Structure 1
Amino acid sequence: MLKPFETSTLSGKVWKDSVLAEALGSVDEANAFIGFAKVFSKKEEVKLALKELQLILFRICAIIAGNKSLDNELEKVLSMIKDFEEKVEIPKCFLILENDEGTSALSIARAVIRRAERRAVSLYRNGLVNEKVVEILNKIGYLLYLLILYEGDRFEEVKF
């Protein structure tokens, strides 16, 4: 039986504050926010991309937990990036990206995936995951940025 300060992973029990539990929790939170963003998205292409990202993140959790090996997750994300890069204009300035429910939810998902990426870096530095896990999370963060640009129709430019 698990103690209140332990959690169960596919590879066994770990402390809830371990680097492994933190990484798994961050990926899980990112996945939840991606699902939240999917509900608010107005564009079917964005919804489909977000569902695919959710499936990839479930697999990433299994990889982090030590029960699966990498497949073609990176290639899938890179393919989606290429697709959406062709559909948006990349701004040359800072923008306030949150202007409705969809773009706001995507922005939160992006922030949480970036935290998950930082946690994955800790795993990598401790020899617990392949660097491709970090790269996949990094690319998902960029893809979420592209999805925000595609989902939104007007953004406020930040002037310094």
Structure 2
Amino acid sequence: MKIYTKTGDEGTTGILGSKRLRKDDARIEVYGTVDELNAAIGFARALVMESTEDDVAARVQDELFTLGAALADPDPQGPFHNKISDEHVENLERAIDDFTAELAPMRTFILPGGSPAAAQLHLARTICRRAERLVVHLAHLPEEDVPSTLLIYLNRLSDLLFVMARTVNHHAGVADVPWISKK
């Protein structure tokens, strides 16, 4: 099987169902950003973290594939449209709580950095925030149906990625980088 189909050569791409959209469509932009987020998390995993963080990151990568499929499925009755559930959000919240329990309370704002894996998780967090903004945009377009759990999931995920970055630094014996205002 060849990887190229040539069906996108005119600037369109297929989504679930038989519909084709322009490659700059808001729906394509948002699930492309979710794909970018998934790749950023994959890169963080390649930079070595402990098994607990890696296991959570692997689960999140799988869920992001599902979330991308939900975004590629504009039909409210479609097979993927509502696959991200409150349970997925609750799992993120449990992971946030578990990681936070290991950390000293924050006394300052934290700059992205520290160990390579933590810095990459901070980058993934910023991509997640962009995906979140794009979901909000898509949800407000006329005739678009976007399940609210997708937005909630991405909002929680950005919090998780922040806490995971701090946890990865903690486990690596690397201090978070505090932001100190230069007045």
Mark yes or no: TM-score above 0.5.
Answer: yes
| d(CA) in 1 for partners of 2:128, 2:51 | 22
Partners in 2 of 1:93 and 1:83 — Cα distance? Answer: 21
The TM-score normalised by the length of structure 2 is 0.81
2:133 to 110, 113, 118: 118
1:8 — aligned with what?
14
Distance 2:105 2:54 in 1: 21
* Amino acid in structure 1 at the alignment position of 2:168: E
Match runs of 1:31-46 below 5 Å? 31-46=38-53
- Which whole-Å CA distance do the structure 2 matches of 1:144 and 1:134 have between them? 15
Alignment of 1:1-160 (within 5 A): 1-11=7-17, 12-66=19-73, 67-68=79-80, 69=82, 70-71=84-85, 72-126=87-141, 127-152=144-169, 153-160=174-181
Q: Give how far 1:122 is off.
A: 1.0
Identity %: 25
CA distance 1:87–1:22, change in 2 (3 Å): same
Amino acid at match of 1:124: A
Q: How far, CA to CA, are the matches of 1:134 and 1:54 in structure 2?
A: 16
Aligned positions, number: 160
Q: Secondary structure at the match of 1:119?
A: helix
The offset of 1:82, in angstroms, is: 1.9
TM (norm. structure 1) is 0.92
The structure with higher relative contact order (CA 8 Å, sep 6+) is 1
Paired AA for residue 46 in structure 2: V
SS, match of residue 154 in structure 1: coil
Greater Cα offset, 117-126 or 132-141 = 117-126
- Higher helix content, 1 or 2: 1
Unaligned runs of 5+ in 2: 1-6, 74-78
